[in-house]
Amino acid sequence: MSRIAYVNGQYVPHKDAAVHVEDRGYQFADGVYEVCEVWKNNIVDMPRHMDRLGRSLSELRIDWPMTRKALEFVLAETVRRNKVHNGLVYVQVTRGVSRRDHFFPPEDVAPSIVVTARSASPAAADKQAETGISVVSYPENRWPRVDIKTIALLPNVLAKQNAKESGGKEAWYVDADGNVTEGGSTNAWIVTKDNKLVTRPAESGILKGITRTAVLDLAEKEGLSFEERAFSLEEAYDAREAFVTAATTIVMPVVKIDDRIVGNGHPGMVASRLRQLFHTVTDLKAV
């Protein structure tokens, strides 16, 4: 069966889904997005994702395209129509369609919205987690407002492509002080030699990941010691464990950073345990 997309009020075949050439998302990357995990017929942590979407829209002064309750229904309906049991649902909102001009369009221009959903294999992800991934460091070169989940992701594309060409799965941005900020599409974590979880504070300089927040909740529930502080690339090289978090990966062990093996070169016990227990602390909305 063909995939289905929701575009500006209509459910359409994915192959026919399109937006206008003067949509400001296309012209200026003037929009925001969210990606939610779908797990066992549930959308994971939708309230937190909708909260963050609302914040991103507010920071860019873009109106909600519909009420929050209606948008939650559209996400769930898109998942249902695509028969996604495990996978992802994506929502993108732009400032709308208007003649190309850097100034905001007239107030009567409505935001544009696109929602898509696709399946993914939990077994394939679990298999990758059994061996872990490699990350490649990359100089931080993004605008300061990475706390807003915008669709302007060209720096992330280039960083991740560099990682791929260097044999890695993910990029880790490193700031001018030599500290890791976050991944190209993930949050970055290490486990120190004294078994303490460390991830960078999310007040500024990184995106406040929804999966990141859930992992902090899980760490507290499990009685794990953790710190929200900056950590250097050198400290990451010397860590006992490392991992990344995102809706697309949940908790994914990192076994190599650049040309340095992390720990014993295998996924660590902390990351593996957090991955195993992750959904015990998430909000699950049945679809």
- The distance of Cα 277 from the centroid of its chain, to the nearest Å, equals 19
Q: Which of 15, 149, 169, 256 is catalytic?
A: 149
Length of the chain: 287
Only one residue has tokens 């016990």, namely 269
Which token pair is 37? 């995990």
Strand partners, 234: none
Determine if residue 76 is left, alpha or beta; phi over 0 gives left, psi from -120 to 50 gives alpha, anything else beta: alpha
- Closest alpha carbon to 209 in 173, 244, 160: 244
Q: How many Cα neighbours within 13 Å face the side chain of 130?
A: 6
Q: Which residues, including other chains, have CB under 8 Å from residue 52's CB and lie 6 or more apart?
A: 34, 149, 208, 210
d(CA 152, CA 138): 18
β-pairing, 10-13 vs 4-7, is: antiparallel
Tell which residue, 98, 93, 104, 164, has the closest CA to residue 134.
Answer: 164
Sequence-separated (6 or more) residues with CB below 8 Å from residue 123: none
Q: What is the DSSP letter of 154?
A: H
The owner of tokens 């280039």 is 158
- Is 164 part of the annotated catalytic residue set? no
Instruction: Report how far residue 11's alpha carbon sits from residue 5's, in angstroms, rounded to the nearest whole number.
Output: 6
Looking at residue 281, its amino acid is V
Instruction: Please give the positions annotated as active site.
Output: 149
